[in-house]
């Protein structure tokens, strides 16, 4: 298990959100989640310009084992998606918190970020998950 | 309470991701399921399949009993050590389980049945055996390791006692024999498998299983989890009980007609129902499908055909082919082009003959 970066916020469903310097929110899944899913083979990315709602499905990742909805941690508009995942979905397995990011959102309500778990709370959740 | 095989601690020490599999705590992978899949297709991998149920049948009328119990004909087994794949049916022709039976003596046969169906299988077999005076004895004292891949046999042979090597090397497909393994441990070596590759399935007293596993690993055989086992058997076109057939499905509907022997005068359980269904027309058939587009076919997805609806049975991403494949059960007759409903999206799939993969390569047309 790689170290959970302290600047990330999390949904209980294992998505992470990082507020970038320009105020956009980058979203991916945690290293714990990729480990649970196993080898990823397909990522269904959202459309650029699509509106997403916090807590609603915005993308789908599929491993050999199962398909999983990726929920948007914040509401807003999709401004960029990680096209690299079309050819190399395994990037999420290799670097879940970095190159394996999935989409970038322009948030419509930044207060939603306060609802998310911080890194410590998420760490605790994962540890309880393992028992 | 989850059951554990004798190799449980070994799997954990190797960093396996463990899952509940039919009441057993089993390794789904040791890191990457896809790498384990490729290891079996290209070199040699091994699976702990000790959760499977071994049942020994003893009795003067054992063969006669199996003529009655199994849809395939036990009389195809004429030489000691030979094995046969068969379905065990209920009276309506539905599949109670699929199994492998080994001929070990005129009064001694060995069955290997699925772990998930253990209790009902034993109850059924015991119930049927009474009338034949056949003794049904479960063998939980056996562990089982499947060693599979193009180099699997060589790596196993090198570990055998030298006096056994030539004999086991000559062992034909679907045949088994006793041999001595490392430190003289007694092995029951069968040239069978569930991956579409050559190899052996080895039964042995469970106290020797860890030593054999370690010897195989030292010989370069890569541990592989049940995840890889599932994608390998699907590529190889092999059915999985519970997903591709069950008690409400006949062998005709599960593409297992080749395992049914309607030999003259043999009254096996389910025969009358199978003959009735064959005469009246089999309503559903099982076909192979390939998804050329992106996405993954999964068990339970709806299949849309010109003549009705069907469903995806076993479905997965196929690592050897780098795309999704599946078995589907569809209405018999003119289905036209098939489409699959993947989360509300209708995706065209291509109907193909399977196996999808043989000898490590994609089959023609896949």
Q: How many CB atoms lie within 10 A of CB B4?
A: 16
Q: Does B32 touch chain A (CB under 8 A)?
A: yes
More confident of the two residues B129 and A131: B129
pLDDT, residue B322, reads 94
Asked whether residue B12 carries a pLDDT value surpassing 60, the answer given is yes
pLDDT, residue B268, reads 98
Cβ contact B317–A35 (<8 Å):
no
pTM (2 d.p.): 0.94
Q: Which domain does A92 fall in, by range?
A: 9-119
Asked whether residue A1 carries a pLDDT value surpassing 60, the answer given is no
> Is A127 part of a structural domain of the chain?
no
Query: How confident is the model over B108-146, as pLDDT tens digits?
Result: 999 999 999 999 999 999 999 999 999 999 999 999 999
Give DSSP secondary structure letters for B16-73.
Answer: PEEEEETTEEEEEESS-HHHHHHHHHHS-EEEE-TTSEEEEEESTTHHHHHHHHBSS-
Cα separation, B190 vs B80, whole angstroms? 12
Cβ contact A38–B29 (<8 Å):
yes
Interface ipTM above 0.85 = no
The answer to whether B299 and B312 are in contact (CB under 8 A) is yes
Number of domains in chain A: 1
> Is A73 part of a structural domain of the chain?
yes
Summarize the confidence of residues B267-296 as an average pLDDT: 97
Cα separation, A77 vs A75, whole angstroms? 7
> Is A63 part of a structural domain of the chain?
yes
Query: How confident is the model over B314-342, as pLDDT tens digits?
Result: 999 999 999 999 999 999 999 999 999 99
> Is A28 part of a structural domain of the chain?
yes
Q: Which of B302, B291, B305 is nearest to B334 (CA)?
A: B305
Q: Does B294 touch chain A (CB under 8 A)?
A: yes
Interface of B with A in 214-243 (CB under 8 A): 227, 231
- E strand or H helix at A128, and its extent? helix A119-129
- Determine whether B9 is exposed, middle or buried from the number of CB atoms within 10 Å of its CB (0-12, 13-18, 19+): exposed
> Is A96 part of a structural domain of the chain?
yes
- E strand or H helix at B83, and its extent? strand B83-89
Mean pLDDT of chain B: 97
Cβ contact B34–A62 (<8 Å):
no
> Is A131 part of a structural domain of the chain?
no
User: Please, which pLDDT band fits residue A131 given cuts at 50, 70 and 90?
Assistant: low
CATH number of domain containing A83: 2.40.50.100
Asked whether residue A46 carries a pLDDT value surpassing 80, the answer given is yes
> Is A104 part of a structural domain of the chain?
yes
């Amino acid at each position: 298990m790689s170290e959970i970066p302290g600047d990330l916020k999390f949904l209980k469903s294992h998505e992470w959100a990082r507020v970038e310097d320009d105020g956009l929110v980058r979203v991916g899944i945690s290293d714990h989640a990729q480990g649970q899913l196993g080898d990823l083979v397909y990522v269904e990315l959202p459309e650029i310009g699509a509106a997403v709602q916090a807590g609603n499905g915005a993308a789908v990742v599929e491993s050999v084992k199962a398909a999983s909805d990726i929920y948007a941690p914040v509401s807003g508009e999709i401004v960029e998606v990680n096209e690299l995942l079309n050819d190399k979905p395994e990037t999420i397995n290799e670097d879940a918190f970095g190159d394996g990011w999935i989409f970038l959102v322009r948030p419509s309500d930044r207060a939603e970020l306060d609802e998310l778990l911080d890194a410590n709370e998420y760490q605790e959740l994962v540890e309880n998950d393992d028992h | 309470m989850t059951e554990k095989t004798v190799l449980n601690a070994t799997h954990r020490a190797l960093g396996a991701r463990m899952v509940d599999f039919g009441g057993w705590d089993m390794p789904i992978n040791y890191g990457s399921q896809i790498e384990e899949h490729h290891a079996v297709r290209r070199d040699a991998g091994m699976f702990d399949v000790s959760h499977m149920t071994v049942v020994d049948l003893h009795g003067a009328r054992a063969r006669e009993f199996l003529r009655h119990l199994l849809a395939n004909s036990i009389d195809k087994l004429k030489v000691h050590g030979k094995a046969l794949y068969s379905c065990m049916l209920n009276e309506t022709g539905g599949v109670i389980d699929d199994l492998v039976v080994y001929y070990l003596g005129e009064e001694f046969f060995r069955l290997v049945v699925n772990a998930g169906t253990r209790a009902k299988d034993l109850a059924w077999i015991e119930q049927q055996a009474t009338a034949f005076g056949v003794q049904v004895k479960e063998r939980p004292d056996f562990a089982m390791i499947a060693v599979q891949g193009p180099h699997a046999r060589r790596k196993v042979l090198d570990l055998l006692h030298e006096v056994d090597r030539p004999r086991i090397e000559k062992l034909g497909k679907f045949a088994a024999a006793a041999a001595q393994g490392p430190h003289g441990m007694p092995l029951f070596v069968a040239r069978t498998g569930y991956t579409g590759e050559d190899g052996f399935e080895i039964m042995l007293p469970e106290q020797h299983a860890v030593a054999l596993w370690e010897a195989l690993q030292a010989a370069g055989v890569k541990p592989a989890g049940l995840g890889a086992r599932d994608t390998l058997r699907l590529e190889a076109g092999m059915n999985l009980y519970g997903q591709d057939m069950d008690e409400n499905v006949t062998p005709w509907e599960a593409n297992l007609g080749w395992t049914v022997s309607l030999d003259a005068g043999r009254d096996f359980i389910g025969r009358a129902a199978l003959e009735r269904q064959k005469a009246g027309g089999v309503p559903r058939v099982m076909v192979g499908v390939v998804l050329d587009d992106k996405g993954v076919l999964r068990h339970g997805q709806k299949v849309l055909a010109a003549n009705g609806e069907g469903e995806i049975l076993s479905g997965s991403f196929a690592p050897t082919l780098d795309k999704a494949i599946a078995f589907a059960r569809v209405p018999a007759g003119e289905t036209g082009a098939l489409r699959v409903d993947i989360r509300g999206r209708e995706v065209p799939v291509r109907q193909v003959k399977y196996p999808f993969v043989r000898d490590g390569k994609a089959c023609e047309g896949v």
